[in-house]
Structure 1
Amino acid sequence: MKREESIDYNIKACWHAIARMYNTQAAQYGGTISIGYILLNIDNEHGTPATKIAPLLGLEARSITRTLKSMEEDGFIYKVQDAKDRRCFRIFLTDRGREVREISRIIVKNFNHHVREAVPDDKLQVFFEVINKVQSVVEKQLQQVQDGRQLIELEPLVEKNKG
């Protein structure tokens, strides 16, 4: 199979292009795509528990710990210990965080507007159906691996490709 025919290659290549575009725009405001997505997922009024942010982005909690720390150091967010559960911290936006959040929101809306102008609604509907189906296949295969089930028998394939 050629890489251009591979589903995962096309998704990854497109995502990398989108990320480059977002990062180029975000850099003008001292941000990154990661910072923008985190800011967009913090409740503007009540803050958001630190442990809830990563799952909102489809990530593991430990994968954004360093980013949250640097965001706090750079003045985008601040942490407040939860009054009910002293083990938890809520993340709040600073004035700078609110400003960059709004810029991020505008950039995302603008990109989506341009895509919606370029792609007819019926094709976007099919795209969302397909991408959701791909996501469910990924989740099913991930669950099988986590359950200890091998997805394919690799040994015969490895032997076949040695020669």
Structure 2
Amino acid sequence: MKEKTIDYILRSTWMGVQKMYNEEAGRKESTMATGFALISIDPEEGTASTALGPKMGMEATSLSRTLKVMEEKGLIERKPNPLDGRGVLIHLTPFGKEMRTFSKGVVLRFDEAVKENISVEDLNTFKRVANTMLELINSKKIYDSEKHL
């Protein structure tokens, strides 16, 4: 192919971001998935384990593995949900809060670097395009089974 497809550009860009985040997380013996989970957990109230997967866009098995590792490293603790006896709340430990601050700083620094190098107009266009792509994907109209038989 002479020209790169939209899929290729998205995939290679995301892989670059992922690699960059994992390299930064590796400095603290962590991973991007752990950092993302830390940022997604409410630092004061905790977060229901059932709400965490959808919030992160992560499958239950991957999330279970990530939470298990985080618990082993002393980043989180699980506590019964006082509003739902069957549920569990994930709470950050003091070490988890410290690592959350680090993870948030990594994300914000990337945001700053992008904003320093890309105009507000171009970023707004990027956001509109990305949102339109998500709407197309979520509408499930791209691959209408009748058209592609």
* TM-score, scaled to structure 2: 0.92
The answer on whether the counterparts of 2:35 and 2:103 sit within 8 Å (CA) in structure 1 is yes
The answer on whether the counterparts of 1:3 and 1:9 sit within 8 Å (CA) in structure 2 is no
Q: CA RMSD in A?
A: 1.8
Correspondent of 1:150 among 125, 137, 145: 145
Match of 1:90 in 2: 89
Which residues of structure 1 form unaligned runs of 5+?
A: 155-163
Distance in 2 separating the partners of 1:128 and 1:27: 29
Q: Which one has the bigger strand percentage? A: 2
Distance in 1 separating the partners of 2:23 and 2:78: 28
Which residues of structure 2 form unaligned runs of 5+?
A: none
* TM-score, scaled to structure 1: 0.85
What is the deviation of 1:107? Answer: 0.7
**Greater relative CO (CA pairs within 8 A, separation 6+):** 2
What is the deviation of 1:144? Answer: 8.0
CA distance 1:151–1:113, change in 2 (3 Å) = farther
Larger Rg: 1
What is the deviation of 1:60? Answer: 3.2
What is the deviation of 1:85? Answer: 1.6
Q: In the TM superposition, what whole-angstrom CA distance separates every residue of 1:92-131 from its partner, at most 9, and x where no partner exists?
A: 0011111110000111100100000000000000000000
Alignment of 1:134-145 (within 5 A): 134-141=133-140
Identity of aligned residues (%): 34
Aligned length: 149
